[in-house]
Every structure is written in structure tokens, then in C-alpha cells.
Amino acid sequence: MPLVSSFEILSLKKGKWEVEAVVDNKVQAITQAEQLLHQGFFSAIEVIEERYDEETGESHSLVIYNKVKVLRKTREQYTGPERRKGKEWRQNPKKYGRETKKKARKGRKRRNATFGELMVRGSLILLLILFLGILAITYVVENLK
């Protein structure tokens, strides 16, 4: 038997790769790797085929299965100008960056209302509602007579 193959199932947990099992059958190794990935304990699973030549003493390794479980989506994938602008943003990110937005806002500064201004606005709105209510009541009373 000059060529011997074995399959190592490696798992990635908290940034470290660990050997979970060593199997002689390729199909069994892949199914076991998929089961481990679906259990949810690992963020990635890899199956490596180790081929050892007994006559020459050489060893070759080949990755035959590599699956990464995406736990959270990254910020770059789903938020910000990349999502809105897509390909256009990826080609020229400086055009849509924070600096450009700040420059555009510089000319038109918006001032926040103070507490006193908000109170005056609120009281004016309440007085308007009260006045309209009094008008409606007087209209109803006069039409009933």
C-alpha cells in the first residue's frame, strides 16, 4: 500500500483551529463536518485530506471542504453609503465619505430650538386648538336654537 489517505476535520472556534476528528472515508468526513457546522458551536469547518506515500515518505495535504458560518454581517455589507450607492461607492468611496457631507453642510448650519422657543410654539398650538374648539362649540349651539 504505497499511498494512504486520511481526512482531518478541523474547527474554528474563537480564532483557533482545532482537530475535531480523523476519518478514513471522504464522504463520512464531509457529512460529519456539516453536522458540526450546523450545531452552531463553530464559526468555520474545514476538511483536509492528508496523503502519505509510504515508499517515499512524502506527505501532501489538500483542502477538500471549507465552509464558513457567517454569524453577523459586517458593517460594510449592509449599512452606510455602500448600500445606497452600490458599485458607484465602491469605485470612489471618498466622493461619498463623511468629509464630503460635512463640506456640504457647512454653508447651511441648522440651529436647534431652545427650550423656551419650544414652549412658545407648543402654547401657540394649544391656543389655536382651543380657539377652534370654542368656535366649533358656538357654531353648534347657535344652529341648535
Is 22 a domain residue?
yes
Q: What is this structure's pTM?
A: 0.47
Rounded CA-CA distance 36/15 in Å is 16
Q: So what's the pLDDT on residue 12? A: 87
Which residue is listed with cell 440651529?
111
Rounded CA-CA distance 20/109 in Å is 60
Q: Which of 41, 68, 95 is the last residue of a domain?
A: 68
- Are residues 59 and 12 part of one domain? yes
- Are residues 130 and 80 part of one domain? no
- Are residues 99 and 124 part of one domain? no
Q: How far apart are the first and last CA of the chain?
A: 114
pLDDT tens-digit series, residues 25-69: 999 999 999 888 888 788 889 999 999 888 888 888 899 999 887
Total domains in the fold of the chain: 3
Which residues span the domain enclosing 124? 116-145
Nearest Cα to 11, choosing from 49, 50, 48, 44?
Answer: 44
- Are residues 7 and 38 part of one domain? yes
Report CA 141 to chain centroid distance, whole Å: 62
- Are residues 82 and 28 part of one domain? no
- Are residues 39 and 15 part of one domain? yes
- Are residues 87 and 55 part of one domain? no
